Amino acid sequence: MRMNFPQTRAVLLPALTVAACLMAWHWLVKLSGTDLFPTPLEVARGILELGERGLLAKYITASLFRVTWGFFLAVAVGVPLGLALGWFRSAYQALNPVIQILRPISPIAWIPVAILWFGIDDTAPVFLIFLASVFPITVSTTAAVQNMQLVYLRAARNFGIRGPQLFRRVILPAALPQIITGVRIALGIAWLVVVAAEMIAVNSGLGYLIIDARNAGKRYDLVVAGMVMIGLIGLVLDLLIRRLETFDEVRWGYGQR
């Protein structure tokens, strides 16, 4: 079979891969004879069941709500902070060591502290998601400004552009492609962390679903259903944020391919 239509191929190839993975999953479960781990079909039934009980939409909304807040807070803090760190050398010297010390501390390690500070309402998971995503955004924005081509800066200064204008008209647009890459990675991490964040005693969300289904009756079909939903929504989020890379103002920053 020859596939001359790139559009068709872009859908067909991944569909085939997914189908093959599902087949392998199904047969591995069957061959092993386990009655604890679900087959794909049982997981699909689990998802349907959650949908009928109204839990699916509720949990997805709850998780997306926390990720949205944590992530947008991280963008709102990380981008300006990164611009400042990349531009002002003394700010970089003063703050970079602190950032590098905080950055490797896993969000999971912060859970007790988050509970201590924020209690067990929605603030704590939002804080954890914020923590997880603010560092990649800050670091990539800083690097983007530091690696900016000198000639753009010289041209701008030649035309008398200074101060806030310089940030708005030159530094930010020059750094934007790399900032978007950082933001994209950060969104992936934010979504990744949601499960851990929802281990805090909240009572909704896909992370909660996974923990709850395991604890209350070993419903592994629902555990895997939660995992599958997290994966699918992660895919959709990445597809959405990739759109940012197609804008004319930033296309120059990515390879020609």
Partner 1 sequence: MDNAESLIFVQGCWKSFPGKTRDEPVHVLEQVNLEVREGEFVCIVGPSGCGKSTLLNIIGGFLRESRGAVRVAGAAVEAPDPRRIFVFQENGVFPWLTVEENVGFGLMSRPASERAERVEHYVRMVGLTGFEKSYPRELSGGMRQRVEIARALAADAEVLYMDEPFGALDFLTRLKMRADLIRIWQAEKKTVLFVTHDIEEAVQLADRVVVMSRRPATVQETVTVDLPRPRDLDAPGYLAARDRIFAIMGMDVHGGGAGGDPL
Stretch that binds partner 1, among 14-22, 28-36, 112-120, 156-164 (CB under 8 A): 156-164
- The answer to whether residue 170 forms part of the interface with partner 1 (CB under 8 A) is yes
Q: Which of 15, 155, 201, 235 binds partner 1 (CB under 8 A)?
A: 155
Query: Could you tell me the smallest distance in angstroms from the CB atom of residue 140 to partner 1?
Result: 17
- CB burial of residue 183 (10 Å; 0-12, 13-18, 19+): buried
Q: What share of the chain is helix, strand, coil (3-state, %, to 5)?
A: 80, 0, 20
Q: Which of 4, 7, 90, 158 binds partner 1 (CB under 8 A)?
A: 158
Which residue type does 67 have? V
Which residue type does 134 have? V
Query: Could you tell me the smallest distance in angstroms from the CB atom of residue 240 to partner 1?
Result: 22
* SS3 call for 100: helix
- The answer to whether residue 197 forms part of the interface with partner 1 (CB under 8 A) is no
Q: Which of 54, 104, 160, 217 binds partner 1 (CB under 8 A)?
A: 160
- How many binding residues for partner 1 (CB under 8 A)? 19
Cβ within 8 Å of residue 192, ≥6 positions away = 132, 234
- The answer to whether residue 88 forms part of the interface with partner 1 (CB under 8 A) is no
Q: Which of residues 9-28 bind partner 1 (CB under 8 A)?
A: none
Query: Could you tell me the smallest distance in angstroms from the CB atom of residue 250 to partner 1?
Result: 7
The answer to whether residues 74 and 250 touch, using CB atoms and an 8 Å cutoff, is no
Q: Which of 126, 144, 176, 225 binds partner 1 (CB under 8 A)?
A: 176
DSSP secondary structure letter of residue 35: S
Residue (of 190, 173, 217, 207) closest to 83 by Cα position? 173
